């Protein structure tokens, strides 16, 4: 009969330890949230670390005692009778009641403290942003220096940035969440925080991106199933230095106060997202090529287009998604390359004729700026 000797058992345990060491890093990493990018996220991460370490300690102690008991008190071939049985031990029962009580009370206290810290709002935040979540896109509006009135254009409508929120790193941002239709959720993984966007209710919170993360872009998404286009309801948070942000915000105010030039084709001018060079539908009238492109179910109907090099061309863009914003941007090389054309964002169902200035031969990407992670295609110019 096969018997487990102490030497053989030690070898088995050693092999198990080596396997655990090899796979341990990847397993532990999978349990951990991403690196925090905000002051509030660091508090949440610290709480997570404490809870994880306590849970891991309990796991290894309990599993270790189970393994010890199985090995130490295993039945041997010569065992023919039950060993002496022990029934009840008041001291042990008191200990294993007190220890969990202390652990739960400690976790309650530190969780409450973290919740109060994360939920705290500043009486004088440097920036006020209004986020509007609707099926199936995000738009962001900014309050002026007074912190009360929205930045508005000459038509009286608030200036909205589709799919992108720009914030100053190292400064407090006060975010107000609104929804005109169904429940959505604001979620950025690096913020370690999620907040529901409820119709008819304003949810607010403060956050501060780490100053060292200026220049970084964080991907966000709706984290509440809100309909067929939910998977494409994403957005970006761009962190700038305070100086860069002030210049950018002043640019938005100046552009909003300026009266836009009328477009020759009758189509409104582009929304003018930050950092993009815009070409309006009033562009060159001599285009000989028109490319058809349709957005439906939060996707382009084509994943590749071709256009002539060094000649103007048109893009006939149709947004077939009801109450959803889309557009067409053209980027040099990859979807994250320089923007060479910025098409007007339109809410479906609607259509626009984009006039694109001549482009040199090469590879380009066309992207919906509102859904940059899911609506992407390749444009070949030759």
Is residue 216 pLDDT above 60, yes or no?
Answer: yes
Q: Can you name the CATH fold of 290-381? A: Immunoglobulin-like (2.60.40)
Distance of alpha carbon 206 from alpha carbon 119, whole angstroms: 8
Q: What is the DSSP string of 26-55?
A: HHHHHHSPPPP-BHHHHHHHHHHHHHHHHH
Mean per-residue pLDDT of the chain: 83
| Model confidence pLDDT, tens digit, residues 122-173 | 888 999 999 999 888 898 999 877 777 787 777 676 777 888 999 999 999 9
What's the confidence (pLDDT) of residue 366? Answer: 95
- pLDDT tens-digit series, residues 244-294: 998 888 887 777 666 444 443 333 333 333 333 333 344 444 568 899 999
CATH architecture, domain 127-257: Sandwich (2.60)
Indicate the class that CATH gives domain 7-74+88-119. mainly alpha
Show me where the domains of the chain are located.
7-74+88-119, 127-257, 290-381
Mean pLDDT along residues 103-132: 93
DSSP state of 344: P
Q: pLDDT at position 18, please?
A: 54
Is 127-257 in the same CATH topology as 7-74+88-119? no
Greater model confidence, 359 or 80:
359
Q: Measure the CA–CA gap between 178 and 181, rounded to whole angstroms.
A: 9
Closest CA to 163 of 373, 315, 376: 373
Q: Looking at residues 367-374, what average pLDDT do you find? A: 85
298-353 pLDDT tens trace: 899 999 999 999 999 999 999 998 878 889 999 998 888 888 998 888 888 889 99
Q: Strand pairing partners for 206?
A: 174
């Amino acid at each position: 009969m096969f018997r487990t000797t102490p030497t053989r058992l030690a070898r088995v345990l050693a092999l198990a330890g080596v396997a655990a060491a090899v796979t341990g890093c990847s397993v532990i990493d999978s349990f951990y949230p991403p690196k925090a990018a905000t002051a509030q996220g660091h508090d949440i991460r610290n709480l997570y670390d404490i809870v994880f370490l306590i849970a891991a300690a309990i796991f290894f102690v309990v599993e270790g005692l189970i393994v010890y008991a199985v090995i130490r008190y295993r039945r041997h071939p010569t065992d023919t009778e039950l060993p002496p049985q022990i029934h009840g031990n008041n001291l042990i029962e008191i200990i294993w009641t007190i220890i969990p009580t202390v652990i739960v009370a400690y976790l309650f206290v530190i969780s409450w403290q973290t919740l109060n810290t994360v939920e705290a709002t500043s009486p004088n935040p440097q920036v006020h942003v209004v986020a509007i979540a609707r099926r199936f896109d995000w738009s962001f509006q900014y309050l002026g220096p007074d912190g009360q009135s929205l930045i508005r254009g000459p038509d009286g409508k608030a200036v909205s940035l589709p799919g992108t929120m720009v914030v100053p790193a190292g400064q407090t941002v006060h975010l107000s969440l609104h929804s005109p239709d169904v429940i959505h959720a604001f979620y950025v993984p690096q913020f370690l925080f999620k907040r529901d966007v409820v119709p008819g209710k304003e949810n607010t919170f403060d956050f501060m991106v780490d100053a060292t993360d200026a220049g970084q872009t964080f991907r966000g998404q709706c984290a509440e199933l809100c309909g067929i286009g939910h998977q494409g309801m994403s957005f970006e948070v761009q962190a700038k230095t305070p100086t860069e942000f002030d210049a950018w915000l002043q640019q938005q105010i100046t552009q909003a106060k300026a009266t836009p030039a009328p477009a020759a084709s009758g189509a409104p001018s582009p929304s003018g997202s930050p950092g993009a060079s815009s070409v309006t539908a009033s562009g060159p009238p001599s285009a000989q090529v028109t490319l058809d492109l349709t957005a439906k179910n939060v996707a382009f109907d084509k994943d590749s287009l071709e256009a002539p090099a060094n000649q103007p061309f048109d893009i006939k863009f149709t947004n077939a998604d009801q109450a959803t914003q889309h557009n067409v941007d053209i980027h040099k090389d990859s979807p994250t390359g320089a923007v060479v054309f910025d098409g007007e964002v339109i809410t479906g169902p609607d259509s626009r004729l984009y006039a694109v200035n001549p482009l040199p031969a090469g590879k380009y990407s066309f992207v919906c700026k509102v859904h940059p992670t899911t609506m992407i295609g390749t444009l070949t110019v030759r």
